[in-house]
Amino acid sequence: MAGFALSRKALADPSLERSFAFLLEEPGAPATFRLGFQPPAPVEIRIDDLQDAVEAPPPDVPRPHTFWIGVVSLATVAGSAANSFTDGPSQKFHFTDEGWFGRQTYAGGGDKASHFASYNTVARLLTQVYQELGVSTDRSRLYGSGISALAGLVTEFGDGTNKYGFSFEDMITDFLGSATALATAHYGLDDLIGFRSGVVPHPKVVGQPNGGTGKDYTAEIYAGDMKIAGLAKRLNFNPGPARFLLLSTTYGVKGYPYALPEVRERQIGIEVGLHFTEILRAVGVPQNRWWLRVLFVILDSVRIPYTQIGFQYDVNHKKWRGPGIGDSFPGGER
C-alpha cells in the first residue's frame, strides 16, 4: 500500500522533520496527513474606538450627587455650630477640665457616654445618606465618620464660648464614636456589635436644683451590644429564637448633675433585649428603599424602653439594682 510504503521511507530518514515534510509534500501521501491553514480575517481597530472604551463610565454606576453631598455635609456641621454657639449667654472663649467617669465629675461620665453614642450614630447615618447620593461604600464610610468628627469639633468650639467651655475629653469621645463607626463598618462587624442610646423614666431627684450645668442625665442610658445572630454566624451554630436577642452592657448615671452628691449613682449594667432589625429581616422587611435603610440604622441606634431586662451595679454605693430596665434610682423621690 502507498501509505505504508511512504511511512517506511519517512522512518528510514534520520531527520524526523525532513521525513515529515517529505511525507506531506509527496503526491501520494495519505489524505489524513494533509494540513490546511486559513489565516483569520484582519480585524480593524480604530484609535477612536479605544478612546471611547477608556472614557465610557462603568455601566449602572450612578454619578455622585456632588451638590447634595455638600449640602448634607454643611448642614451637619452648621447644625452642630448653631446648637453650641447659641446655647446660653456668650462668654470669652475658655477651656474646661471635665474629667471622665469619676464620681466627682459634673455628670459622672454620662455626658461622655452620650457623646460617644451620639457621634457614632451620626457617622452611621451620614454613611447611609452618602451611599444613597452615589458615593462608593468605602468613601461613604470615610466621609460619614469624618464629617461626624468635624461636627463634634465644631460643637466643642461652640462650647468654648458658653457656660460649658471647650472640653478635650468631649472632643476625644466624639472622635472615638466616629472612628468606631468607621472601624466596625470597614471590618464587617456591624452585624456583631453596635451602640445605642435611650431614655428611661425617672423620678424627681432629691435636692434639685443643686447646682450643676446642662441637662439631667438621669433620664438617659447607653448600651454596647453583642448581637446573637452575628455571633452565631461567626461561630457556626444555630441560635434558634435567641437570634432575636441582644446581650448588652449599659452605662447610666442617676442624679447627675443636680441631685445631692450623696444620692447620686453611676450604674454599670448587663441586660438582654430585643434585636428589632433582626426581627424585621426575619419577617421579610426589605431594605430596597432609602428610608428603609435609614430606618434599620435608627433601630440599631436607639434603645427602646421596656424591650429589655437586666441588672445594674451602682458603683458609688457598691450595690446591685434590678432586675429592671435601668430606671432604678432609690435616691430620687417619685
Cβ proximity of 116 and 101 under 8 Å: no
Residues of the chain with pLDDT under 70: 1-62, 206-211, 333-334
Instruction: Report the pLDDT value the prediction gives residue 142, as an integer from 0 to 100.
Output: 97
For 82, the enclosing helix (H) or strand (E) is helix 66-85
Which tens digit of pLDDT belongs to each residue from 286-302? 998 999 999 999 999 99
Give residue 64's pLDDT: 82
Residue in this structure with the C-alpha cell 449613682, named with its chain if needed: 265
| Residue 139 confidence (pLDDT) | 96
Task: Starting at the earlier edge strand, list the strands of the sheet with 302-303.
Answer: 302-303, 193-199, 220-227, 245-254, 265-274, 308-314, 319-324
What totals of helices (H) and strands (E) does the chain contain, helices first? 10, 11
Query: Count of alpha carbons within 13 Å of 326, Cβ hemisphere only?
Result: 32
Count CB-CB contacts under 10 A for residue 204: 12
Cβ neighbors of 294 (< 8 A, separation 6 or more) are: 125, 128, 129
Contacts by 128-131, CB closer than 8 A, 24 or more apart: 128/290, 128/293, 128/294, 128/297, 129/72, 129/294, 130/69, 130/72
| pLDDT for residue 60 | 58
Give the pLDDT confidence score for residue 22 in this predicted structure: 54
**pLDDT at residue 54, as a whole number:** 54
